[in-house]
Every structure is written in C-alpha cells, then in structure tokens.
Amino acid sequence: MPKITYIEHNGKEHQVEVPNGFSVMEGAVQNNIPGIDADCGGACACATCHVYVDEKWFDKLPKKDISEEDMLDTAFEPNKSSRLTCQITVTDELNGLVVKMPSKQG
C-alpha cells in the first residue's frame, strides 16, 4: 500500500498507508490526522482539505481540474504548490508523497 506523509503546520509528521483508489483527504481523515477538516466530505465544495505539496512531488501528481483550481481561490493562503487532497487519488505512483498542512483551513 502506498505510504503518504502528512506534516502538520507545527511540523509533526504522520506517515500512514493509504489504499489505492482512496483520496489523500480520506487517508488523513480515516487515520485521525489533524489539520484536514474536509467539511464537505470530498465534494470539492469547501477547500478545507487544502495542503501544500512538496515541489518534487507537485509535477508528478495528476493535474488540477478547473473546479479544483476554482475552489482553491477560496482556500486559506493558497500558493502555487497548493492542492485539495480530496481531489488526489492515491495510486502506487504516489508512494512516498509528502503533503504539508496550512496553519489553518479557514
């Protein structure tokens, strides 16, 4: 199973295994990792599952679609490495992915 590392804003790291086909958001929520709120349950409608993706990983991820880019406008302090974790599906290629949480989700 692919391993994903979630780093809280305070630097605390959580490495967990997330099954293929699940979203990176679900990986955090199901493992009770704080910092990803996911208020809309993964419907790309709340931007509270926002993370910053390590530069070396950003380009390896499937591209953002328009609805994710639109939703990121409303995220808390988005930048060019921002993604919404509910829109990233876990695959073997993402083994080792590292995401960082913003200071808050809103």
> Least CB distance from residue 11 to other proteins, whole Å?
19
E-assigned strand segments in the chain: 3-7, 13-17, 50-53, 82-84, 97-100
Q: Which residues of 66-93 are buried (b: 16+ CB within 10 A; e: fewer)?
A: eebeebbeebeebeeebbbbbbbebeee
- Determine the residue type at 37: D
Of the candidate spans 7-15, 38-46, 55-63, 96-104, the one that interacts with ligand FES by CB under 6 A turns out to be 38-46
Residue 90 binds ligand FES (CB under 6 A):
no
> Least CB distance from residue 66 to other proteins, whole Å?
8
Residue 45 binds ligand FAD (CB under 6 A):
yes
Residues making contact with ligand FES (CB under 6 A): 25, 38-40, 42-49, 71, 84, 86
Residues making contact with ligand FAD (CB under 6 A): 40, 43, 45
